[in-house]
Amino acid sequence: MTNIMTENKELAKYLNACMQSDEVNTTFHLIKVPSTDELEFWIGQHRLSHCAGHYEWSEKFKKNMWVKDD
C-alpha cells in the first residue's frame, strides 16, 4: 500500500508541475490549479473506484473509510 501511496504522490507532483507551466490552458487561467495534495487525493479516489466496495464512517478516525465488498 505504501508503494501505491508513493506513486500517487509522485504523480500528483508531476501533474501539478505540468499544470503550473504555461503550456496548459485552464480556460484562460480562470480555473484554480489543484494543489499536489488535492491531486494526490483524487488520484487515490480514482484508483479506489476500480475496487468493489463502499465507504463507511469511522468514529475512531472521524472520516470515511473504504470497506471492500466480499
Q: Where are the beta strands (DSSP E) in 1-70?
A: 53-58, 63-68
Domain range for residue 38?
Answer: 2-68
Name the residue among 29, 37, 51, 50 with its Cα closest to residue 8.
37
**Model confidence over 12-46: pLDDT tens digits?**
999 888 877 766 665 656 677 788 999 999 888 88
CB neighbour class for 12 (10 Å; exposed up to 12, middle 13-18, buried from 19): buried
40 class by beta-carbon count within 10 Å (0-12 exposed, 13-18 middle, 19+ buried): buried
Asked whether residue 57 carries a pLDDT value surpassing 90, the answer given is yes
Total domains in the chain come to 1
41, 10 contact by CB (below 8 A):
no
